[in-house]
Amino acid sequence: MGKKVSVIKIIEENDDLNIILEELQKKLNYNISMDNSKQLIRLLFKLLDTEVTDYVKTQDENVFSNALKIIALLDKTVASGTFSKNDSHLYYYKQARLIIKLTGLIGEFLNEGMEDNLNLIKERLNLLDFKNEKEISKKFNSQISDLENVLEGKRVLKICEAGKQLEQEKQNAENAKMFMKLLEKCFVCVEAESDDIYYYLHLLHVLKSQIEVPEIDLAYFEQLKSLKKPNKSTRYKIILSEIEYIMKNKNKVNSLSDTMTKYQIETDFPCSDISSSPSIQILTYKQVSPITFTIDSDSLGTIKDDALSIKREKDGYTLGIHIINVGAFILPNSPLDKAIYNRFRSLYLPNQVIHMIPKEMSKSYLSLEAKIPRNVLSLYARISENGKVQSYTFSNETTSITHNLSYYLSDRILRRETTASGEIDYNLKLLEHVTSLLENAQKNDYRNIKELFGEDTNTDTLALSEKIVSESMVLYNSLLAEYLSQFDGLPVIYRIHEKPTASSIESIIKNHSNPSEDLITLLKEIYPKANYSLENIGHYGLKLPTYSHSSSPIRRYVDIYMQRLYSLSSKSLTVQELEALQKEAEALVEFANKREKELKLFQDEYEHAYIKTFKPDNRN
């Protein structure tokens, strides 16, 4: 076996037959000019037999190339040798000649027209005179049988590949059709300057990443060119540039500034919106002075919009949740109100925060700083010893916060690693106890899936003080929606989350049986997303019959609307006023759901652009 391997290596590494023969001469110690060719012919014959058999099985082109070299070497060796009539090694030469003929035909078989070639091999094989060489005949017929099997396998494979190709061609045609439809939708949106462009352009990007982009007719490039009008806004110029890249099957990452321009994200407020006197008002409500805490991050300049208080009662507790009253501070339909309406919410980006309300205004007038009177919309909830809400009231109040605490300090106090004062320690621990009762009373598996619903509901992984704040805000959002829903004609904006359908659950069980897959990812595929609505269907994810957004009015516009709705609940509104309020609420719901999706697209694109450019700025 070692000799065969070494000879094949010589044949593989050289193309010149003379060099091969010289190397073989050294390897086998013979002289081709003398009558000692028998050893070489015998070895080459055996090698050729092996190579042909391997080639039929493997169809390896290197093996076939070796076979052709061996054939040429046999011809050269026989032509150089001297043979008598009865020379015994002619027997080997005759065998070799038979294999030479069949090897050439096998090579032809494996090219085009295989079926015809196989029939030709059979015919020529029948013409060969094997005489006493029965073993050779048997071997050749065995090889013919192998070839027939190869041919049948190729026939079946060809049928399968043709079917796959047809299916792929159909799919490619459907993909191309869908791509062109989306492209046309983008053109229509650009022409009409419709904000729907964000969704269609996003879908076009997604489709481009998953399919082979079809060849675009020149007429579409001409249409694109016609849309590049001089009076088009900068954002549509950016969008048209993106579309052109997609049409050319190229990738483009917008700069950070272009991404912000594209989605109409403003970082600065016009001076008139901030300083205009008709935009704000400072009212005075009933003065209250409970022991109140804000619990926020340690960052300097953190704007505080919520505070908590707690009181031990004979048969339970009174939990106070105090939210800065932005709705009463900013006048409806004022220049500032319109500016923050369009912003819709604050944006937390990798390198900056874009505030919904001017930061300096929030710090000067709205942040709940200790010892400074602020107007708040307070909830007082009576909580029983088993964590049930027995009764509650809301009221507009003016209060001064007693203590500003950080999460870090609060956690250290709660873990008994440090103390602040008897008053702070006692009330903070009482708050932890009461909110733990609330959490246990409302505990369910769905509250543990934060990202699934887009709500801050996962309290199990939070620090102790963060749990206090999180549970309190869930309660506030739920009870204000419940309270306002009691007033006929008041259009409450609910934060709703639909229950997934039975068919969607069945689908996930059927299609995702692999237990190693990420459950959150799978659930996000089928669960409806939370959104805003004037119809209350409850919040399935939180297992709450009513829920709203009302606890963060400095960073969400819907929360400001809910505060104003509370102020209107105590007034007698005319039919005309209720109708106008209904239209206002309908417009806000439509805008809020649309803008929420747009801002999600913006944040994804901005983060992608930030990673590409990697130019971190100081976080404001």
The string of pLDDT tens digits covering residues 457-494 is: 444 456 788 989 999 999 999 999 999 999 989 999 99
pLDDT band at 501 (very low <50, low <70, confident <90, very high): low
What is the extent of the structural domain holding 42?
2-129
Token couple for 266: 């403003």
Domain end: 112, 129, 146, which one? 129
3-state secondary structure of 292: strand
Distance CA 73, CA 55 (A): 18
Half-sphere exposure of 153 (CA within 13 A, CB side): 9
Residue 404 counted as domain residue: yes
Q: How many domains does the chain have?
A: 2
Average the pLDDT over 499-508 and give the result.
Answer: 58
Q: What is the pLDDT of residue 443?
A: 57
pTM: 0.69
CA distances from 208 to 31, 180, 514 (A): 68, 11, 29
Q: Which is more confidently placed, 527 or 620?
A: 527
Let me know if residue 355 belongs to a domain: yes
Percent residues over pLDDT 90 in the chain: 42
User: Measured between alpha carbons, how far apart are the two ends of the chain, in Å?
Assistant: 77
Amino acid letter at 163? G
Q: What six digits make up the tokens of 512?
A: 């995702």
Residue 11's Cα: distance from chain center in Å?
Answer: 54
C-alpha of 397 from chain center:
45
Query: Which of 287, 451, 456 has the alpha carbon at shortest distance from 373?
Result: 287
614 Ramachandran zone, left/alpha/beta (phi>0; psi -120 to 50)? left
**pLDDT value, residue 1:** 44
pLDDT at 454 over 70: no
Query: Around Cβ 424, how many Cβ atoms within 10 Å?
Result: 18
| pLDDT tens figures, 318-370 | 999 999 999 999 999 998 999 999 999 999 998 889 999 999 999 999 999 99
Distance of CA 15 to the CA centre of its chain: 54
Q: Which of 85, 110, 129 is the last residue of a domain?
A: 129
Does residue 449 carry a pLDDT above 80?
no
Pull the structure tokens for residue 502: 């039975």
| Per-residue pLDDT, 72 | 78
In the prediction, which pLDDT does 383 show? 94
19 belongs to a structural domain:
yes
CA distance linking residue 289 with residue 216, whole number of Å: 70
CB 390 within 8 A of CB 382: yes
Query: Is pLDDT larger for residue 52 or for residue 516?
Result: 52
Q: Is residue 96 part of a domain?
A: yes
Residue 468 is assigned to a structural domain of this protein: yes
Please report where in the chains the tokens 């008598």 appear, as a residue. 84
CB-CB contact of 253 with 604 (8 Å):
no
Q: Backbone dihedral region of 204: left (phi > 0), alpha (psi from -120 to 50 degrees) or beta?
A: alpha
- CB within 8 A of 500, min separation 6: which ones? 526, 527, 528, 540
- Tell me phi and psi for residue 406, to 5 degrees: -100, 160
Asked if residues 50 and 57 have their Cβ atoms less than 8 Å apart, the reply is no
Give the C-alpha separation, 362 to 368, whole Å: 9
**Residue 217 DSSP one-character state:** P
Of 78, 96, 129, which one is at a domain's C-terminal end? 129
> Across all residues in the chain, what is the average pLDDT?
81
Q: Which letter, b or e, does each residue of 101-118 get, where b requires 16 or more Cβ atoms within 10 Å of its Cβ?
A: bbbebbebbbeeebeebb
Task: Indicate whether 210 belongs to any domain.
Answer: no
What's the rounded Cα separation, in Å, for the pair 329 and 284? 11
Higher local confidence (pLDDT), 542 or 333: 333
H runs (alpha helix) in 512-613: 519-526, 557-569, 575-613
Q: What is the pLDDT of residue 431?
A: 94
Residue 64 CA: distances (Å) to CA of 20, 100, 138, 147, 340: 17, 12, 22, 15, 77
Q: Take residue 86 and report the two structure tokens written for it.
A: 């009865």
Whether residue 326 contacts residue 332, with contact meaning beta carbons closer than 8 Å, is answered with no
State the Cα–Cα distance between residues 374 and 292, nearest whole angstrom.
12
